[in-house]
Amino acid sequence: MIIEAKNVSRTFRSTKKAEGFKGALGLLLKPEYQSHDAVKNVSFSIEEGSFNGLIGANGAGKTTLLKMLSGLIAPTSGEVRVLGYDPFKRPIDFRKKIALVMGQKAQLWWDLPGVDAFDLLRAIYDIPSPVYKERLNRLAELLDVTKHLNTQIRRLSLGERMKMELIGALIHWPKVIFLDEPTIGLDVLAAHKLREFLKEFNRVEKATIILTSHNMEDIERLCSRVLILKTGEMIYDGKPEGLTKKGECRLRVRLMQKPTADELAGVSGVPAAAIKTPNGGPEADGEAEAEDEAEGHVDRDSVYFTTKVDLIPTVLQKLMAKFTIVNMGIEEQSLESVIQRLYTQA
């Protein structure tokens, strides 16, 4: 195993500030502290050459976990090994073999063109000139930024900058790559190109990649394994297909009547927990529904039944016997909707 984490936890301490002038004065004279468990007792191991997705809602602990794996911060308790090293000791050999890309943080020097920054990185990682040139050309071509190599980083668009950051992170051909939201802010085309590139890099170079992203397309298209964090705890570790249950789908039905979830459960034989009604079924809890709707996954006037595909004719028959169906359809369960539900479940 190239990465191993055993019972890893991380707690942060911060000052607590009350509102207003009194709060400011209190902070000055007698600061109060609060603790926050960002990662709680997480264990997992990662195989060499695999592409892994680390996902979770905001504040779930994804970035904290990446920071511990890359050696930026130490765990409060537990043990982390990456490439056989203790990351927090940061030995030179370890630093030469890893890369961390943070989508929200510029790592290159803003006032210089990319090519100057890469040249410095060439010297830092002691890459022979012919190898460096070949890699730079290959990466720039793959990411379609050859014409921007001599432009000041700060003058580039967000997408172009992100691609430059990736070149800066990969120019030394790391064995382990930590990517923290690399497609953040990118347009559809740029995100697609980036994904294709990462897929290719992982396939050809056998680099082990851990990717965090809020974009489920990134996860679906790239990752063979998904780790889901929720408020610091690991709630899922497995294949993405394992989240979308095989043979299950969503039956969307628009009815003339407005029955409750319990009534629908009684008639259809589908458990009330698997029914989402317009007037607020068990699954119709605020945030996920709002996000579903924003993404165009929810028709507010319809009822949704999550059930086995082969049970659908029976469910429909039972419903038609009692209610008038105006419109209907069958939907595949998307990874996104499953994960949204996981995030919002208590």
We find the least distance from the C-beta atom of residue 133 to another protein, in angstroms, to be: 15
**Cβ closest to another protein, residue 115 vs residue 311:** 115
We find the least distance from the C-beta atom of residue 11 to another protein, in angstroms, to be: 11
Positions touching another protein (CB under 8 A) are 12, 63, 67, 70-74, 90, 92, 95-96, 98-100, 102, 104-107, 109, 111-112, 116-117, 119-126, 152, 180
We find the least distance from the C-beta atom of residue 149 to another protein, in angstroms, to be: 15
**Cβ closest to another protein, residue 73 vs residue 235:** 73
For 35, other C-beta atoms within 10 Å of its C-beta total: 9
Give the C-alpha separation, 167 to 190, whole Å.
15
State both tokens at 146: 């050859």
For 175, other C-beta atoms within 10 Å of its C-beta total: 18
We find the least distance from the C-beta atom of residue 281 to another protein, in angstroms, to be: 37
Please name the residue that has the structure tokens 């259809």. Answer: 268
We find the least distance from the C-beta atom of residue 178 to another protein, in angstroms, to be: 9
State both tokens at 317: 């028959």
**Cβ closest to another protein, residue 66 vs residue 249:** 66
Give the C-alpha separation, 308 to 311, whole Å.
5
**Cβ closest to another protein, residue 126 vs residue 310:** 126
Give the C-alpha separation, 47 to 227, whole Å.
13
Greatest alpha-carbon pair distance for the chain in Å reads 76
**Cβ closest to another protein, residue 104 vs residue 321:** 104
We find the least distance from the C-beta atom of residue 158 to another protein, in angstroms, to be: 15
**Cβ closest to another protein, residue 63 vs residue 277:** 63
We find the least distance from the C-beta atom of residue 312 to another protein, in angstroms, to be: 45
Q: Could you tell me which residues are beta bridge partners of residue 33?
A: 15
We find the least distance from the C-beta atom of residue 109 to another protein, in angstroms, to be: 6
CB environment 229-261: b (16+ within 10 A), e (fewer)? bbebebebbeebeebbeeeebbbbbebeeebeb
Give the C-alpha separation, 155 to 300, whole Å.
44
**Cβ closest to another protein, residue 12 vs residue 262:** 12
Q: What is the DSSP letter of 241?
A: G
For 7, other C-beta atoms within 10 Å of its C-beta total: 12
**Cβ closest to another protein, residue 96 vs residue 199:** 96
We find the least distance from the C-beta atom of residue 286 to another protein, in angstroms, to be: 26
**Cβ closest to another protein, residue 70 vs residue 307:** 70
Give the C-alpha separation, 330 to 53, whole Å.
28
The continuous run of DSSP H or E covering 335 comes out as helix 335-344
**H helical segments located in 35-183:** 62-70, 92-97, 114-124, 129-142, 158-170
Give the C-alpha separation, 179 to 339, whole Å.
20
